[in-house]
Amino acid sequence: MNKHGAEAEAVYYSAMESLIGPLTLCATEQGLCLIEFGPFEETRGQAEKWLAAQLGRVELLPGDEQLAGVRLQLAEYFEGRRRDFDLPLDMRGTPFQLQVWAALRNIPYGASASYKEIAQAVGNVKAVRAVGGANNRNPVPVIVPCHRVIGAAGALVGYAGGLGIKSRLLELEAGESARDGAGIYLF
C-alpha cells in the first residue's frame, strides 16, 4: 500500500558488521530503501522516522532472508571483491534528489567528483548547495556512492556517517583503483 493507504507497508530490516562498523539495512518489496550507520538497536528510531516520512505507515519486520543479497554484495565490496552493486533499490526522494543520486551512481569506483561537477551533471551549475543537500539525504550510502563527492579543492567535506567513515571508504577504493589509474572523474 502506498504512503497514503490505510494498510501498513512491510519493510524488512537486517543488520551486518562491516569494515566501517555496524550497518542497519531496510528494504521494501521493491528493493533496498535505507542504510543506517550503526546497530539496529541504536538506529531503529531514526529509521522508523525516515520510513514513516517516506512511506507512511510501515510494519518493520526481521528480514535477514530478504536482505541476504544486499549483505553479500556489501561484504564483497568491503573485502575489495566488488566495485559495482547490482541490487534493486526503492529510492524515495524529490525529483531533484533522485536526479542527483542517479548522477552519483555514475562516479566510477575509486574516482571522485566535486559538488560542482554533480551540479553540472544534473544540468544546473548554480545548484551546488542543493546538490550538497541531496547528497546528505542519500538514503542508501555506499550503494549510491555519496562518499565519492569531495570539496572543490579536493577536501573531504560532510558525510552522514562521519568523515572517518568517508575517508575509510575512499581509502578502500583508492587501494583497489590505484592499479587501474582511476582518479578525479569529470562529468
* Closest to 132 (Cα-Cα) out of 75, 122, 142: 122
SS3 at position 39: coil
Rg of the chain over Cα atoms, rounded to whole angstroms, equals 16
Catalytic residues: 146
- Please, are residues 140 and 105 in contact by the beta-carbon 8 Å criterion? no
Residues facing residue 14 across a β-bridge: 25
Contact 25/34 with Cβ under 8 angstroms? yes
User: Helix or strand or coil: residue 49?
Assistant: helix
Q: Which residue has the cell 550503526?
A: 38
Q: Which amino acid is at 83?
A: R
Concatenate the DSSP letters of all residues of 86-142 into one string. ---B---S-HHHHHHHHHHTTSPTT-BEEHHHHHHHTT-TT-HHHHHHHHHT-SSBT
